[in-house]
Amino acid sequence: MSNKAENRNGEPMTMLDPCDVARRACEIAGAELRFGRPVVLVGEQNYAALALDTATSGDFDRFAQVTGGKHMLFLTAERSHALGLARPKGVLVPLAGVSHAAACELGYRMKSPVPTNFEDAPEELAALTALSSIALLLPALVVARIEPDEPAFAGVTRITAREIAVSGEAESRYEMMARTEVPLRDVDKAEFVVFRGGLSQRDQVAIVVGDPDVERSVPIRIHSSCITGDLFGSLKCDCGDQLREGLRLIQARGGGVLIYLDQEGRGTGIGAKMMAYGYQAHGLDTIDADETLGFGPDLRRYGAAVAMLKALGIAKVELLTNNPTKAAFLENAGISVTRRTSVLGEVTNENQAYLTTKAMRAGHQLDVRAIAQALVAK
């Protein structure tokens, strides 16, 4: 079947795939939010929305003015919980008379007054949380119900919840675009295989070590980027150690693949991760710090990893991880995990609490007692 059609003027038009159309709409809407500009979520009820962490106080005041002071702050279930309000779909807090600085406090600061005036957020606003995550923004949005033909929002980018949902399919659509050998210090032979596609993600990289036999179970590690740990040797986490130990194990097995995913801060981005580190310095653990910013415990997506494995012809793996979520995701996507092998880093004063939280609250297969004793033994 031809993928050409004609538009109303009889001009040739490429029939676009619905997922590509939705993905483009999301990327544009996300970019608008990142520029501090409003977007309109179109549905049974229309909502204008502005991202709190990119809107200046001028943008915020203009939004307040054109919505006649009917603007509200949409806080996720996680942020509501952090504020002591257990509301499963989050809350809407009226903002009439509230300054930009006070809204930011309510939206994502650690010491915020608890709102007394709020309503449960409608389900459809979850689409905006998904959009803010695609745009790597904090999930704190200023919203206002508007009429479909509201003149103040004429020309503003529009998006539907359906487009945001459909765009998610792009997460598993990647194409190989380059494959080149790069000599690495501790590895005999490594090829960097770059994939392009996805949703709001940069090109992704798989490092093929040696010549793995794809007919057998291939040792792999799926590693999410951690600039602080991988690159600069931060002591606050075990990532750098795990990256190097992962490569070492793959090499020792005679070959395999390390997939390096661009999803810093468990998918929240480096900015949010550093804000979370700031909150951790004030005593919150890694999960509570993310919740204070409005995030769930883990926003990472592994569709890219699955697409890359499939493109490399890999259907069976030995997974180098302590994180059972990664194994479950692969199994659900049709990649058989024949074995899970732990990858351990050094326990330090600075990462001991982080590792304990991963074991106790995120279900990572780490030995809590060994973590506790590791420093005593030193």
Ligand X SMILES: Nc1nc2c(ncn2[C@@H]2O[C@H](COP(=O)(O)OP(=O)(O)OP(=O)(O)O)[C@@H](O)[C@H]2O)c(=O)[nH]1
Number of residues that bind ligand X (CB under 6 A): 22
Q: What is the spatial distance between Cα 156 and Cα 40, in angstroms, rounded to a whole number?
A: 7
Shortest spacing between CB 166 and ligand X, in angstroms = 26
242 contact choice in Zn ion, ligand X, none (CB below 5 to 8 Å, kind-dependent): ligand X
**Ramachandran angles phi, psi of 213, nearest 5°:** -85, 105
Residue from the set 50, 55, 75, 226 that interacts with Zn ion by CB under 5 A: 226
Q: Candidates 21-29, 186-194, 207-215, 319-327: pick the segment binding ligand X (CB under 6 A).
A: 319-327
Residue from the set 201, 204, 217, 242 that interacts with ligand X by CB under 6 A: 242
Shortest spacing between CB 237 and Zn ion, in angstroms = 3
336 is in an annotated binding site: no
Shortest spacing between CB 183 and ligand X, in angstroms = 24
Residue 146 or 239: the one with the smaller Cβ distance to Zn ion is 239
Q: Candidates 17-25, 70-78, 87-95, 223-231: pick the segment binding ligand X (CB under 6 A).
A: 223-231
HSE of 207, CA atoms in CB hemisphere, 13 A: 21
322 binds ligand X (CB under 6 A): yes
Residue from the set 71, 79, 81, 273 that interacts with ligand X by CB under 6 A: 273
11 is in an annotated binding site: no
Residue from the set 40, 127, 239, 337 that interacts with Zn ion by CB under 5 A: 239
Residue 264 or 318: the one with the smaller Cβ distance to ligand X is 264
Q: Candidates 23-31, 140-148, 195-203, 223-231: pick the segment binding Zn ion (CB under 5 A).
A: 223-231
What angle do helix axes 126-134 and 18-34 make, rounded to 10 degrees? Answer: 80
Residue from the set 171, 264, 291, 318 that interacts with ligand X by CB under 6 A: 264
291 contact choice in Zn ion, ligand X, none (CB below 5 to 8 Å, kind-dependent): none
Q: Is 156 exposed, middle or buried (0-12, 13-18, 19+ CB in 10 A)?
A: middle
Active site (annotated) includes residue 300: yes
Q: What is the spatial distance between Cα 72 and Cα 86, in angstroms, rounded to a whole number?
A: 18
What angle do helix axes 303-311 and 324-332 make, rounded to 10 degrees? Answer: 60
Shortest spacing between CB 360 and Zn ion, in angstroms = 18
76 binds ligand X (CB under 6 A): no
Q: Is 44 exposed, middle or buried (0-12, 13-18, 19+ CB in 10 A)?
A: exposed
- Location of structure tokens 């539907």: 160
Residue 212 or 229: the one with the smaller Cβ distance to Zn ion is 229
Q: What is the spatial distance between Cα 202 and Cα 213, in angstroms, rounded to a whole number?
A: 28
82 binds Zn ion (CB under 5 A): no
104 is in an annotated binding site: no
Q: What is the spatial distance between Cα 92 and Cα 119, in angstroms, rounded to a whole number?
A: 5
Residue from the set 51, 72, 239, 308 that interacts with ligand X by CB under 6 A: 239
Please identify which of the residues 20, 262, 298, 367 carries the catalytic annotation.
298
Annotated binding site: 221-226, 237, 239, 242, 264-266, 286, 321, 326
Residues that bind ligand X (CB under 6 A): 223-226, 237, 239, 242, 263-266, 268, 273, 276, 286, 290, 321-323, 326, 343, 364
Question: Which sequence positions are flagged as catalytic?
Answer: 298, 300
